[in-house]
Amino acid sequence: MLDNLFEEKLTALIRQLHSENSLGAGSIENALTVDERMQILIEATPATYERHRGEVDGEAALIADDRRSVISGSFYKIFKLRDTYQELLNRVGFDLLREIKLNSIFLLHYPVGSKGTDPHIDNPRYFYKVISTFILSGHSPFYIHDASNLEMKVEIAATPGTLVLLRAPIHPNDKITIPPMHSVGKVIEDRYSLGFAYRWFENTILK
């Protein structure tokens, strides 16, 4: 799971995300093997999903990052991937990602025929440093948009097994780092993904 070649690609991508003139997004294909994806899907599909509101034509499930969830074993593979990936981020992320804690774990499901999402920015009031999404199954295009002209867009690889990374603010009062405007296109095959993010829950004062 997440071999040395992946680590090299992750290091390069993190540098690129926060570089000048970056799209603020990128992806690494074949981050997970077919077998790894299937094992995680076995845990993901029976989770309790709730319908998204607004610009998202899909549903989401949040996995509590607490002792009870870990002990139950229901999400063993998901927690194992989170822990392995979190260790990698702390190792290769330089000062940018040092001591990052992936304490927000979420599953997204877009059924066949879903329109995906409208162009949007993941709420910068909650998520920091980097937002990571592993595509578990399904096919739909993933776009990064020009915020001043939504018709101008670039497609990012998002096939099953791919890790998609989005730039996020470094800290709550970071007014410089702009998360990328993005969207998911029409879904032609049931799409599941697993996301990890660093969320500051307490003592977060925004001005």
Distance (Å, whole) CA 65 – CA 33: 25
Q: What residue has token string 């500051």?
A: 200
pLDDT score at 173: 81
Alpha-helical runs (H) found in 18-137: 34-44, 67-72, 76-92, 94-97
Give residue 163's identity as a one-letter amino acid code: L
Distance (Å, whole) CA 100 – CA 6: 19
Query: Which candidate, 40, 71, 67, places its Cα nearest to that of 137?
Result: 40
pLDDT score at 51: 92
pLDDT score at 68: 66
Distance (Å, whole) CA 154 – CA 142: 8
- The whole-number mean pLDDT for each consecutive block of 10 residues of the chain, a chain of 207 residues, reads 89 86 93 97 94 86 77 85 93 75 94 95 81 96 94 96 93 82 95 93 42
pLDDT score at 166: 95
Query: Which candidate, 137, 3, 84, 2, places its Cα nearest to that of 76?
Result: 84
Tokens matching residue 35 = 């077998």
